[in-house]
Amino acid sequence: MNDTLLEINDLHVSFHTVRGVIRAVRGINIDIRQGETVALVGESGCGKSVTAHAITGLLPTPPARIERGQIHFDGRDLLQIPAKEHRALRGVRISMIFQEPMTSLNPVFKIGEQIADVFRVHHKLDARAAWNKAVELLNLVKIPEAEKRAHEYAHQLSGGMRQRAMIAMAMASPEPGLIIADEPTTALDVTIQAQILHLLSQLQKKIGVSILLITHDMGVVAQLADRATVMYAGRAVEQGSVEQIFTAPRHPYTKGLLNSLPGNQKYRDARRLEAIPGTVPDLRTLGDGCPFLNRCPHPGDRCAQEFPDAFSDGGDHLAWCWYPEGGIAAGHGAAGRKAGDKQTGGGPTGTAATTAEEHTDDV
Ligand SMILES: Nc1ncnc2c1ncn2[C@@H]1O[C@H](COP(=O)(O)OP(=O)(O)OP(=O)(O)O)[C@@H](O)[C@H]1O
Ligand code: SF4
Ligand SMILES: [Mg+2]
């Protein structure tokens, strides 16, 4: 049975500005199954929110232009359906939780009214019943004194409570399918962040919703996600289960993100700095090679020439790197295994494999 809820194929999004064409998303492929949490992780400006806005139909067009790709959801390509139908999915089948809920909560209506509205419009409840359901949900997301808080406005709530109200709103949907949580806990302190992530995970179990979790924080990925796509400069550079990515990261960028986790010594070695040195490249002037080249600790001859093919250990763990960590030094296009290739020869840790670190010593 195919239980895929969302499938993004070869998505390309550019911004056509007076200062040039910004290629914000360049060939992203992501699928999310029913009830699964998939993280999109990467530094600021790598294209996470642009990908999310392509799903929700919230890209500003112009200057944004979807150059290529498909986004299949509920069996339809969201990029082909009329804007009216796309809009109709928002808040019903696709809900969003943003870093700053003030931008999505209406400042002039009480919190309870905003949630009750969803019950009135989509569940056709009368005003009293809708209000009661709103209070019930505010209780469920553990807003203290929910009945009293329901009468308050967004600015009267703390950041954590506003985020809980947004989650309640997502839960009010009559047929929730996908929640896109874009940096949902970035503005919160660590304790509240943990509580909100726990709440999201409980919600997911309760109603079986899928979550696309957008974050720059590998700690958040570890806490909530089943699988992850690591993005860099508009590209996916590594993809796999959270276990695969945390136990055997293949891309040096992923390794850098893991190293930047406070207290994480696992992937640290003498040649690595705590933070990833350098800055992200200008998305207007990207060449054909690997976009991580200027920050990579062990680039090889091939890296400047062409964007890497996906390297795979054999399963669905992919890394777009010519010289993957623990992989094969000569560039897997020649000596290693491209994703989809037949599994032959020594694996990345086998006797035929030379590690990327050894490669670094060679150059
Ligand atoms: N409205 C816009 N006009 C022009 N360029 C834009 C616009 N929105 C986004 N971009 C470009 O797209 C790139 C990706 O932006 P995006 O918002 O997806 O980054 P992000 O990964 O979500 O980063 P952050 O973690 O800071 O939210 C940006 O670097 C920017 O150059
Ligand atoms: S080894 Fe090459 S392909 Fe891999 S991340 Fe470094 S520069 Fe990119
Ligand atoms: Mg963003």
Same domain, 181 and 156: no
Per the prediction, the chain carries an average pLDDT of 84
pLDDT higher than 90, residue 41: yes
Query: Which of 223, 248, 273 corresponds to the end of one domain?
Result: 248
**Model pLDDT, residue 271:** 38
pLDDT band at 328 (very low <50, low <70, confident <90, very high): low
Helix (H, G, I), strand (E, B) or coil at 11: strand
Ligand 1 pocket, 44 CB below 6 A? yes
* Whole-prediction pTM: 0.85
Which domain does 277 fall in, by range?
251-363
Q: How many angstroms does the Cα of residue 287 sit away from the middle of ligand 1?
A: 19
The total domain count for the chain is: 3
**Model pLDDT, residue 327:** 64
Residue nearest to atom 5 of ligand 1 (CA): 15
Same domain, 71 and 185: yes
CATH number of the domain bearing residue 182:
3.40.50.300
Ligand 1 pocket, 63 CB below 6 A? yes
Query: Which of 172, 197, 229 corresponds to the end of one domain?
Result: 172
Residues pairing with 21 in the sheet: 16
pLDDT band at 192 (very low <50, low <70, confident <90, very high): confident
**Model pLDDT, residue 263:** 63
User: Average pLDDT of 7-19?
Assistant: 96
pLDDT higher than 60, residue 339: no
pLDDT band at 359 (very low <50, low <70, confident <90, very high): very low
**Model pLDDT, residue 260:** 80
Ligand with the closest atom to the CA of 19:
1
pLDDT higher than 70, residue 337: no
Helices (H), 57-126: 83-89, 111-123
- Upstream peptide bond of 62 is cis (omega within 30 degrees of 0): yes
pLDDT band at 331 (very low <50, low <70, confident <90, very high): low
If one compares 98 and 356, the residue with the highest pLDDT of the two is: 98
Choose the residue to mutate in 16, 26, 30, 50 for probing ligand 1, maximizing ligand atoms within 8 Å of C-beta: 50
In ligand 2, the atom with minimum distance to the C-alpha of 237 is 5
Same domain, 117 and 153: yes
Same domain, 257 and 362: yes
Residue 357 is encoded by which pair of tokens?
A: 């670190």
**Residues having CB within 6 Å of any atom of ligand 2:** 252, 290, 292-293, 296, 298-300, 303, 308, 321-323
Same domain, 22 and 86: yes
Strand order across the beta sheet in which 318-320 lies: 94-98, 178-182, 210-215, 37-41, 227-232, 235-241, 318-320, 310-312
Same domain, 42 and 153: no
Residue nearest to atom 5 of ligand 2 (CA): 321
Q: Which of 68-82, 196-210, 293-307 has the lowest mean pLDDT?
A: 196-210
Name every residue whose Cβ is closer than 8 Å to that of residue 216 and which is 6 or more positions away in sequence.
41, 42, 43, 44, 183, 186
Ligand 1 pocket, 24 CB below 6 A? yes
Radius of gyration, alpha carbons of the chain: 22
Q: Which of 34-43, 190-199, 335-344 has the lowest mean pLDDT?
A: 335-344
Residue among 42, 160, 146 nearest 101 (CA): 160
pLDDT per position as a tens digit, 131-178: 999 999 999 888 999 999 999 999 999 888 898 898 888 888 888 899
Same domain, 161 and 186: no
Ligand 1 pocket, 232 CB below 6 A? no
**Model pLDDT, residue 167:** 87
In ligand 2, the atom with minimum distance to the C-alpha of 296 is 6
**Model pLDDT, residue 332:** 60
pLDDT higher than 90, residue 74: no
Query: Which of 248, 280, 306 corresponds to the end of one domain?
Result: 248
Residue nearest to atom 4 of ligand 2 (CA): 321
